[in-house]
Amino acid sequence: MGTTEKSSKILDPKILTRFGNLSLIAKTIVEGFISGLHRSIHKGSSIEFAEHRQYVVGDDPKYLDWKVYGRTDRLYIREFREETNLKAYILLDTSNSMNYSGQKDAITKFIYAKCLAGCLSYLMMKQNDSTGLVAFDSGIKNFIKPSSTRSHFHFLIENIENLEPGKDTNIGETLHKIAGIIKRRSLIILISDLFDDKEAVMSGLAHFRYKHHEIIVFHIIDRAEIEFPFEGFKDFIDMETDERIPVDSQAIRKEYRNIFTQFLYFYQKACSERSIDYVRAITQTPFDYFLYNFLQLRSRLF
């Protein structure tokens, strides 16, 4: 995908989170990723060529097209139109299920999600795109309107760093509320484990599509949630209700894996049917993979 082996190791989530400073993590990841690309797919966002028109006295000579003059022996001005900078909202799930880690020495889904949010914020700031943040669990906790300034980036990072996991979640209803607030067509980036009523979640996402927003879903999953590598009798605790359930891991492994596979397939299929871009983000995967996916999706959407 265009990055060197060295840069991929540098972007390893487990190593990076030892830095502690989210601003430094985001900068390290994005700068390392960009320097590793063989061919940048960054799209400029300042001006775009529109058309030629004949030169008249008083026009700025720096916009003269000398190639056209060489072919026609006539003076033409290159006219430009300003591009509309992208407005993006990062919707970050802070419910307590995001605080899960399958291994003691692994990072939680929540820390991974915060790092990914920081990386996307830094990347979009470098592209002069306006970025906002909405943190939520059972309701909206933070709502920061988009801006593209460096000071705004640091404000975003400070808010992301200070976020703590909440308790329960209500993704579907909260998405409907957010969709009602955001008026202008934007890029909506949902970062969540999507552990809630599936139909309600998709109804909330469909609300954004109805209002003509573009959507990218980063589905945050720990590998242990897919593989269920546990042995013997275990007490499993619902992280949002604290309900404790004793189970025989071996006895339920096959059924659990089937159910979880169906859970993942549902979201992948439902998003595809609604023209919503879906990217599964396993917490053991280096961040450059998701940055690459994001840039590919963005270059297609805008």
pLDDT per residue over 161-206, tens digit each?
999 998 788 999 999 999 999 999 999 999 999 999 999 999 999 9
Structure tokens at 241: 């209700």
Mean pLDDT for the stretch of residues 203-220: 96
Q: What is the model's pLDDT at position 85?
A: 65
Q: Give the residue with greater pLDDT, 179 vs 296.
A: 179
Report which DSSP code applies to 103.
Answer: S
Mean pLDDT for the stretch of residues 26-45: 61
Structure tokens at 235: 């007490």
Is 102 in contact with 224 (CB distance < 8 Å)? yes
Output the pTM of the full model: 0.78
Distance between CA atoms of 132 and 148, rounded to whole angstroms? 9
Q: What is the model's pLDDT at position 50?
A: 53
In sequence order, the 6+-apart residues with CB closer than 8 A to the CB of 136 are: 91, 92, 93, 94, 171, 174, 178
- List 147's β-bridge partners, or say none: 131
In sequence order, the 6+-apart residues with CB closer than 8 A to the CB of 63 are: 77, 78, 79
User: What confidence category does residue 59 fall into, taking pLDDT thresholds of 50, 70 and 90?
Assistant: low
Q: What is the model's pLDDT at position 106?
A: 82
User: What confidence category does residue 19 fall into, taking pLDDT thresholds of 50, 70 and 90?
Assistant: low
Instruction: Give the lowest-confidence range in 240-244, 246-250, 283-287.
Output: 240-244
Q: Give the residue with greater pLDDT, 204 vs 41.
A: 204
* Residue for token pair 């720990």: 222
Domains and CATH numbers, the chain: 5-40+85-301 (3.40.50.410), 47-82 (no CATH)
Is 283 in contact with 107 (CB distance < 8 Å)? yes
Is 280 in contact with 265 (CB distance < 8 Å)? no
Is 28 in contact with 16 (CB distance < 8 Å)? yes
Q: What is the model's pLDDT at position 78?
A: 67
User: CB count, 10 Å around CB of 7?
Assistant: 19
pLDDT higher than threshold 90 for residue 220 = yes
Q: What is the model's pLDDT at position 10?
A: 42
- List 248's β-bridge partners, or say none: 233
Which helix (H) or strand (E) element contains residue 22?
A: helix 22-36
pLDDT tens profile 116-134: 999 999 998 888 889 999 9
Nearest 5°: the CA angle 225, 228, 231 is: 145
pLDDT tens profile 70-100: 778 788 776 654 444 689 999 999 999 999 9
Distance between CA atoms of 262 and 271, rounded to whole angstroms? 14
- Work out the end-to-end distance of the chain between its first and last CA atoms, rounded to an integer number of angstroms: 21
- Across 113-271, the runs of DSSP E, i.e. the strands, are 130-136, 140-147, 187-192, 214-221, 233-237, 244-248
- List 105's β-bridge partners, or say none: none
Give buried/exposed letters for 136-174 (b at 16+ CB in 10 A, else e): bbbeebbebebbbeeebbeebbebbeebebbeebbbbbb
pLDDT higher than threshold 90 for residue 141 = yes
Q: Give the residue with greater pLDDT, 84 vs 283.
A: 283
